[in-house]
Structure 1
């Protein structure tokens, strides 16, 4: 299932990670594990925030994906199922067909 994961990182902890040079390594390692379709970075509510779209094959993957962000960056994480344009078209067609 395609999901959007929002990773909102603790500012104090990520400041320290920047100073130690570990923030980039943590993000790179996490993204290699996740293999995202897309990843965007910005701020939300005054915090460093990542928006990562990827395929979650099974719920048991959630701890492996989330724990590095929790443990190393003090992050809060949200998972939201999302569709691309093709998925939306299929969903709407099925809705019309099944009425």
Structure 2
């Protein structure tokens, strides 16, 4: 199942990793491990943030994706299901609309 993983990374310990020159190395290791379909970096609510499109095979995979961010950056991780246009077409919106229309 395609998921959007948002990792909100607090200033520490990331600032210390930047100062020591290890931030890029750690992030590269994480990206190699989680193999995101897409990866973006931005600011969110005043902190660093990584946004990753991942493929979650089972709920038990959540720690595989979250723990590297928890353990290395003390990050907050959020998972959201995402759909492609093809997935949305399979959802049967027309039938649902007929069933639930008031």
Same fold, judged at TM 0.5 (above): yes
Secondary structure of the 1:63 match is helix
Answer whether contact 1:37 1:53 (CA < 8 A) is retained. yes
Show the counterpart of 1:82: 82
Alignment length, in residue pairs? 97
Q: Which has the larger displacement, 24-33 or 43-52?
A: 24-33
1:41 equivalent in alignment to 2:68 = no
- The two structures have a TM-score, normalised by structure 1, of 0.88
Q: Which has the larger radius of gyration?
A: 2
For residues 14-47 of structure 1, give each alpha carbon's deviation from its aligned partner in whole angstroms, at most 9, with x where no partner exists.
1001112221122111111111111110000110
Aligned residue among 77, 92, 95 for 2:93:
95
1:97 Cα deviation after fit: 4.2
Show the counterpart of 2:28: 28
Show the counterpart of 2:12: 12
Distance 2:86 2:27 in 1: 29
Distance 2:22 2:86 in 1: 38
